[in-house]
Each structure stands twice: as structure tokens, then as C-alpha cells.
Amino acid sequence: MDTSTSLAKDNWILQAQRPENANITILFISDVRLDDERTLKGLRTLFEQAVDADVIPKIFVFCGNFTGTPVGNDIEMDNYKDSFTALGDLVAEFPSIRTSSHFLFVPGPGDPWSSDVLPRRPIPPAFINRLQAKLSKRAIFATNPCRVKFMGQEIVIYRHDLMGKMMRNLVGVKPDLESADLKRYLVQTILDQVHLSPLALTIQATSWEFDHALRLYPMPTAVVLADSYEPYELTYEGCHVFNPGSFLTNNYGFSTFYMATSRSMPGGLQSFRI
């Protein structure tokens, strides 16, 4: 037994549970379609509320798709790049957020140059160099899936419309099966197989060279299954799993993960109207 590792983990847990660290959070937003003006308006309101309440997340995790339309020609590529620049301009208007938070971007299945093979590569630098210049080293563009290790905890983030794909490939689903049962079935399947892609390779191709990036062993603290499906959160075998849902179609919804409790809480801008 590696006692040094165990003691280090225990120390991180105790630190996370200290009263002064109770508000250390990671905020997850999915389907951040930057080409839709409603998204930036919603994010502005979210930032304003965070600053007014003096509860600024340590990390903002933005999951794709970052566009709601296909990107193919030069004009569409320029628009895609401009949308990230606009987000950088928005963040720059909130100095307390820009200087105290980090920003993690996880590509979605509909983002350009995103292969159907898992894991997916980060968004190419050519599209986000202006955003990175505005946010210095605080903007991180990750693969899909990716992992965040912070305060002794590991959080796996996976952006994929997995519920729909699982349902399309199930055999013999009961017609009266409730939504809660479907969510539990999905979570149990993922965690019992300790793999983010429990489907056959003919349905979801994976790169053998990087298959280890999809494995869930040892079990992480939490798994974010960012999906266009409705939001949920549940804990199975000690692992907390949640889906923040789509930002625009879910009352500008998001999920907040609290480091002190290793649990998430759904949120939204229900009173916000465009």
C-alpha cells in the first residue's frame, strides 16, 4: 500500500472541507453555441450574477458544440473564430473572473474537424489564438474526453450525445421505461464496464492507441456525461455522475460541482429572458 499517496489524498480532502474552501467550485456548461447571440447574453448574465454574489468558480468548463451550424467554407470558418473572440471580449469585461478563473474548452461531436473516432482532438489553434491572447494562459483547449485533477479529486469530462446513441442501439426496451430508469441504466453501464464507450466499434469507433483515455479505472471522483439529453445527477458505486444539459434549451442551465462535497448541483437562469 502506498501510504504516502493515501495521506496526500486525505490531506487534500481535509483541505477541501475547510470552511474557507466551501465555495471552491467548478461550473459546467454544455452546448455553448457561441454563434447564437442568446448564448453570449446568457453568459453575460451568469457572469454578472457570479460577481454580484462574490462566488466565482475556480474553473469554467465550456463543452461544445460551439456552433449550431456546419462549418465548411471560409466565411463560416471566420465566423467560428470570431465567436470565440467575442467570448474572450465578454470575459475581459469582468476582471475578477478573468484573473481568478480558468477556462476549459471541450469540443463536441458537431464541432469542425472533430473526428467520429474517440477520443476527439482539441479545437485547432488557428480558431482560438485571439481568445487565448485575451485570457493569457487561463484558457485551456482539451481533448474529448479529458480529465481534471484538482484538490485530490479527479473529474472525467465527456461531451457526447450518448443517451440517444445508447437508445438507438438497445434491444427490447420496455415501452413504459421511465426517464430515471434510463439514466440509471446508462450510468451503471458506463461505470460497470469502466469505459466511456460501451458500444461496439462498428457503432462508435475508438482509437486503440488512445483507448486508455476512455477508461474509468481507477474510478474517478466524478464523471460529467455532457449530453443534449435532459439534466440529471446521481451517484453509483461512490462515483458522482451528472449531465448539465444544453445551455439554451434547458433554461440556460448549468451544473456546479462543489469540491468540498464532491457533488454537483443543477442551476439555471430561469428568471432570465432574452
Q: How far apart are CA 9 and CA 13, in angstroms?
A: 6
- Phi, psi (deg, nearest 5) at residue 10: -60, -40
Burial of 72 (0-12, 13-18, 19+ CB in 10 A): exposed
Give the residue-averaged pLDDT of 206-221.
96
Give the residue-averaged pLDDT of 134-142.
93
87 grid coordinates: 467570448
pLDDT digits (tens, 9 = 90+) for 29-57: 999 999 999 999 999 999 999 999 999 99
% helix / strand / coil in the chain, to the nearest 5? 35, 25, 40
pLDDT of residue 20: 64
pLDDT of residue 136: 84
Computed from CA positions of residues 263, 252, 121, 211, in that sequence, does the dihedral angle turn out positive or negative?
A: positive
**Summary mean pLDDT of the chain:** 90
> Is 268:256 a contact under the CB 8 Å cutoff?
no
Give the residue-averaged pLDDT of 231-259.
95
Give the residue-averaged pLDDT of 4-23.
60
pLDDT of residue 260: 93
Q: How far apart are CA 215 and CA 188, in angstroms?
A: 14
In the predicted structure, residue 10 carries a pLDDT above the cut 60: no
pLDDT of residue 22: 76
pLDDT digits (tens, 9 = 90+) for 97-133: 999 999 999 999 999 877 889 999 999 999 999 999 9
- pTM recorded for the entire structure: 0.92
pLDDT digits (tens, 9 = 90+) for 158-184: 999 999 998 888 766 656 667 788 899
Confidence band (pLDDT; 50, 70, 90) for 6?
Answer: very low
pLDDT digits (tens, 9 = 90+) for 57-103: 999 999 999 999 988 889 999 999 999 999 999 999 999 999 999 99
pLDDT of residue 17: 64
**What b/e readout covers 131-151, taking b as 16+ CB neighbours within 10 angstroms?**
bbebbeebbbbbbbbbebebb
**What b/e readout covers 226-253, taking b as 16+ CB neighbours within 10 angstroms?**
bbbbebbbeeeeebbbbbbbbbbebbbb
DSSP state, residue 229: S
pLDDT of residue 7: 45
In the predicted structure, residue 5 carries a pLDDT above the cut 60: no
- Which residues, other chains included, contact 53 with Cβ-Cβ below 8 Å and sequence gap of 6+? none
